[in-house]
Homo-oligomer: A and B are copies of this chain.
Amino acid sequence: MRVGFYQFAPILREVEINLGKVETAIRHTRADLVVLPEMCFTGYMLSSRDELAKFAEPVPTGPICCRMVDLCRERNTSLAFGLAEQDADRIYNSAVLVTNSGDVHVYRKSHLFLDEKDIFDPGDTPFPVFRLDGVGIGMLVCFDYIFPESGRALALNGAQVVCHPSNLVLDYAQWMTLTRAAENRVFWIVANRTGSETSAEKTLSFTGRSQVVAPTGKLLYRAGTDTEELPVIDIDPRDALDKMATPRNHLLEDRRTDLYPR
């Protein structure tokens, strides 16, 4: 399975430019699955719930989703990316998986970061796992990773590859996701963005260093801090089916759920 990520700097509010940039990049790539950053077509710092609502779209019928379905079919590839999802009067910070056959799946960010609490609704999708050519694919969005329960839930639900669209501003994720991969024996693809965005109140600088991690916790590839790149590497997702930390220790079955608090 050829997997990768596209690390770049989306331009705030320039949806058409960002869409074109992604389409061009994907048309120059041969991969089975590419992960893009969180909110990668709109940019991140939309200033209010009202402005967010203008950029949010329903899944799978919205314009960004439709463009990505066309792109995935054209290129026989699958994409995982972040967008603002409108559902009736709710808006979620979602990750969408569009498969090579045009299926569209969604995960809604469970753990909202900082001021996202003012404009997004908290997710209500309990860590679903989707099949892609027989491989279990899970998604998280950015800050979800800091809670070990997120990755664990995906592993328990059968994820072999975790797609992790992000707009990281802290520097925890790059080392913590090594642990996340290893404690669950899953592949982990962090797609972070680069560049910065500025609002009236603040500037956010994104930390790049997107990465692909093996189920052992080994770093398979890490991007630069400021580079635009779309690396693709070969993985065998079956490696993520082996949950044995030792010949006698299964990382999921050895859990002592009788002793853990809620």
Contacts and interface: CB of A to CB of B under 8 A. Distances in A.
A20 interface: no
A157 B259 CA distance: 12
Interface residues of A, number: 45
A249 B111 CA distance: 9
Interface in A104-126: 110-111, 113-115, 117, 122-126
A255 B150 CA distance: 9
A120 B129 CA distance: 37
Nearest to A182: B172
Interface stretch (A8-16, A205-213, A240-248): A240-248
Given A146-B183, A152-B148, A257 B247 contact: no
A261 B126 contact: yes
A146 B180 CA distance: 10
B262 A257 contact: yes
Contacts of A256: 110-111, 122-123, 147, 149
Contacts of A117: 248
A254 interface: yes
Given A175-B175, A255-B147, A256-B122, A247 B153 contact: no
Interface in A140-163: 143, 146-149, 152-153, 156-157
Nearest to A254: B111
A172 B217 contact: yes
Contacts of A183: 146-148, 176
Contacts of A143: 249
A89 to B, nearest CB: 20
Interface in A213-262: 217, 245-249, 251, 254-257, 259-262
Query: Which secondary structure dominates where chain A touches chain B?
Result: loop
Contact of A127 (B245, B251, B259): B259
A147 B152 CA distance: 10
A94 to B, nearest CB: 14
A92 to B, nearest CB: 13
Contact of A176 (B110, B182, B261): B182
A178 interface: yes
Given A143-B249, A251-B147, A260 B114 contact: no
A117 B253 CA distance: 14
A255 B149 contact: yes
Of all A-B residue pairs in the complex, the 8 with the closest CB atoms, nearest first, are A148-B148, A179-B179, A126-B259, A110-B256, A149-B260, A114-B246, A176-B179, A114-B248
